[in-house]
Amino acid sequence: MGANRHMSVDSRGRYTPEVDGAAVSGSEGPAGSRTHNTIPARRGSLMQEPVLVLNATYEPINVTAVRRAMVLMLKGVAQAEEMHNAEVHSAAHAHKVPSVIRLLAYRHIPQQSRALSRKNILLRDRNTCQFCVRVFPSSELTLDHVVPRSRGGRSSWENLVACCYRCNNSKGDRTPEEAGLKLARRPRPFTLHTSRQLMRLIGHRDERWRKYLFY
Ligand SMILES: [Zn+2]
């Protein structure tokens, strides 16, 4: 069960497609089969622990799962910078598990590398309705076109915001000004700055992440 669960962190809104796409395409290359032999699949929870990914320059660029991080290490794409306290055990060996890894070759991160998706818009807006500024579970949020589609508003980072159903209904097919609503903040593309804030949120409990994230 849960054969693809190890990809949850990455595939959840394609955290950084360029890292996944370029470095780990297919993810089950020659090294992948080796991983399967050495790491028992039932070590599910530890293998899904978040691992901070640093660029070759030590710049934090991504969060992935332990399993993925270990594949990157086996492929010689990344090396461990910090280790977890926990280990995974195979028949013959205990394997130390990384908490922070660093790519060995510098990877250029495009300014706007995120896939435009509902999930990523909600992430960017921290599940906060951008009109009433209240936090909702994802299921109670929709995406609002700030400038309605009927007025030529596009589906873009700059024109889509998280919105609760109530605000969405009261706004209807109008602009915020016409509806007497005010945006909490101007919607922006998902930049590295945004993702760094998210990494801080995910990693604020892990001491080993701190020196890379808090400066
Ligand atoms: Zn609202």
Residue 192: both structure tokens together: 């590295």
Query: Ligand 1 centre and the CA of 49: distance in Å?
Result: 33
What three-state secondary structure class fits 10?
Answer: helix
User: How far is ligand 1, taken at its centre, from the CA of residue 185, in Å?
Assistant: 13
The rounded Å distance from CA 140 to ligand 1 centre is: 10
Is the whole-model pTM more than 0.75? Answer: no
**Taking 90 as the threshold, does the pLDDT of residue 79 lie above it?**
yes
Secondary structure (3-state) at 90? coil
Q: How far apart are CA 177 and CA 158, in angstroms?
A: 16
Backbone angles phi, psi at 127, to 5 degrees: 55, 30
Gap from CA of 166 to ligand 1 centroid (Å): 6
Backbone angles phi, psi at 146, to 5 degrees: -55, -55
Buried b (16+ CB within 10 A) or exposed e, 124-134: bbebbbbbeee
129 pLDDT higher than 80: yes
Q: Are 125 and 183 in contact (CB under 8 A)?
A: no
Q: Average model confidence (pLDDT) for the chain?
A: 76
Query: How far apart are the CA of 147 and the centre of ligand 1, in A?
Result: 16
Cα 108 to chain centroid, rounded: 17
Q: What is the mean pLDDT of residues 23-29?
A: 32
Q: Is the pLDDT of residue 84 over 60?
A: yes
Give me ligand 1 centre to Cα 102, in Å: 40
Ligand 1 geometric centre to CA of 200 (Å): 26
Percentage of the chain exceeding pLDDT 90: 39
Question: Which residues on neighbouring strands pair with residue 95, listed in sequence order?
Answer: 88
Q: Model confidence at 44, in pLDDT bands (50, 70, 90)?
A: low
- pLDDT tier at 120, thresholds 50, 70, 90: confident
